[in-house]
Chain A
Amino acid sequence: MMVGEDVITGVFDSGGRGYEVSYGFGIPSWKKVADHAIEGREDFKACVGKYDDKAEGADVLNFTYGPSTGGLTESIKFNIYTYGERILSLRPEPSYKDRKLQVSGSGLEMANLRIERYCGPLSPFYSGMLAAAVESVMGADQDNDLRLARVIMNEISRISDHIHVIAKLAEGASQNVAYNLLFALREKLLRLIARRFGHRYFFGINGFGGLVRSANFKGISSEVRAIVDEFRQIWIRLENSRIFIDRIQGTATLKRAWMVGPAARASGTHIDARMESSFLRYDDLDLHVSISSGADTLARTLVRVDEISESARIIERAESMIREVPVAGRTTKSEVNGEISVRAETPGGDSLMRVTLAKGIIEKIYIRPSSLQNLAVFAYAIRENLLTDFTFGYEGLGIHISELGGVL
């Protein structure tokens, strides 16, 4: 039996006729479920963003944090129930900034541009998923060089996101030299991306059947390696700081079968969509999956640190194999029909996309992003922690609020 085979990993509401549910972390398949009993399951709730949150009793104080406040980079509201300094319960409300991103009804190019802006910092993952879904429905064999190009873009993006998460943790722990150096390192990486791909967030690069503009992959791995080596130097100092480690060790501990990404791997679960993905294969890249066992913010950070080095190694290998990446046209004319589900391992973990195409138009789209599971992890894991642990529990999960908005 595979890890988490009976775990609900995606819920598609069929509009009053029950649900279509995806189980397990492998190649997605959907089952119709009319039984509303599944609504009580924790993994179901994690997929639809509902949490058991209320805490009542004498001296329980309920207050809100957000939706817009200096401590949050993106808008979200938290209802927090406390007893003294202890957090008893917490309910996130990410719907404030829900843009209700309209993708269905769009032609392929517009859908691609909008999906890039579904979550800007993760744009190569989502535009790559959409492109791969469409290419698959079209019946096109994926070009090997295009696959390697997408692997390189995704892994650079993963390094950038992981460095950002660790920088935010250092900022929270007032490790100001470390946090400044880490943010500088991320800036260096963004400048590298802009030089080689024309845009700091990979906008306008992923197309259908190729890249929309040519990108320069020659020597990219040595530039990335230099940044990762610099990161290691900063990390060696950071992991020797008791002030830093004390803030993240034993903070926001949780182990659940439905967890994804670094949170799952930090609790000893061996899952990574890169091992299973049918559309973006890593099987010739000797992917090593990082595992830790503490299930707390420290363990999640250690997984990310390992993954930064692993991503650099994958980029080196991919660059050595890449030849000529096909260039796609800016318009794609197609009359194809079909439905497909694809997965990708974003920096936060497994994300799932289901796309229905009708006459070359996106008829329906559903995304279950990793941030949805990670927000549920935060809501459950922060219980019985202190208010001062909030930052470390939240930032350590690398949640992107924009990912939590609806895609219509």
Chain B
Amino acid sequence: MSKIKYPVIVVAQDLREGHVVFVGSQGLTRDWREAVVAATPEAGEALLARARIDEAANSIVGAELVEVEQRAEGIRPIHYRERFRVYGFGRQDSAFTDAAE
């Protein structure tokens, strides 16, 4: 991956069922609104380290940092691919309107 720009969240998938999960303040969450946002490289690494514990416990797979921006209504992933993934299937099921809007 090219150089990461902050802030970021951690996105992964549940090993047993496959659904997308986020690292939240109370542990893993399926709700992107509860995802912890890391504003610095140090905070990002700490967030990823928490996800690595869940990976090591065989609870999730593929944990990675996803770049986001902070908006009044909440976070918005920078890349459209991650917007589809974070906001969830069906949110993009219209023609070419922004999934976040």
Answer yes or no: do A and B interact: no
Binding site for B on A (CB under 8 A): none
Residues of B within 8 A of A (CB): none
